[in-house]
């Protein structure tokens, strides 16, 4: 009895699904342009959604690039301050050379951070443009 009932329920669902598919196929056969334009509209909407997602990701990458730059600059500033403090132990020309080297290291670290930030922003712009 249970097998017969299960078979009856399954055949009812399959018949309903088949009728629905038949209706869709019949509509598509009668209106091929409508279904093609609907598919094109769906594809355009999908592409627009992807485009806005990539713009949002690009904005997030820009924000991340700025935050990374700020952190790198803060590290460079702290390192520079520590190096200058160590230079105070030296006297005369040694102190002057030490401070000059510390300043050069600081400037290089800041320049590297800026270059990295600018590269990340340019990449984000390139991705957003496509």
For residue range 64-85, what is the model confidence (pLDDT) as tens digits? Answer: 888 899 999 999 999 999 999 9
pLDDT, tens digit, for every residue of 5-28? 666 565 665 555 555 555 555 666
Per DSSP, the residues of the chain read -HHHHHHHHHHHHHHHHHHHHHHHHHHHHH-HHHHHHHHHHHHHHHHHHHHHHHHHHHHHHHHHHHHHHHHHHHHHHHHHHHHHHHHTTS-THHHHHHHHHHHHHHHHHHHHHHHHHHHHHHHHHHHHH-
C-beta of residue 75 within 8 angstroms of C-beta of residue 110? no
pLDDT, tens digit, for every residue of 98-116? 999 999 999 999 999 999 9
Q: Does pTM top 0.75 for this prediction?
A: no
pLDDT, tens digit, for every residue of 44-61? 655 555 555 666 676 777
* In the predicted structure, residue 35 carries a pLDDT above the cut 60: no
Task: Give the span between the Cα atoms of 55 and 78, in whole angstroms.
Answer: 35
C-beta of residue 112 within 8 angstroms of C-beta of residue 79? no
């Amino acid at each position: 009895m249970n097998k017969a009932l299960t078979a009856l329920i399954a055949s009812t669902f399959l018949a309903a699904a088949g009728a629905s598919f038949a209706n869709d196929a019949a509509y598509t056969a009668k209106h091929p342009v409508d279904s093609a334009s609907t598919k094109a509209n769906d594809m355009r909407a999908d592409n627009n959604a992807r485009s806005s997602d990539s713009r949002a990701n690009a904005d997030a990458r820009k924000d991340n690039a700025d935050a990374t730059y700020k952190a790198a600059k803060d590290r460079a500033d702290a390192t520079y301050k520590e190096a200058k403090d160590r230079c105070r132990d030296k006297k005369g020309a040694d102190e002057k050379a030490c401070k000059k080297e510390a300043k050069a290291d600081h400037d290089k670290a800041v320049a590297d951070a800026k270059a990295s930030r600018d590269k990340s922003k340019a990449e984000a712009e390139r991705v957003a443009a496509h």
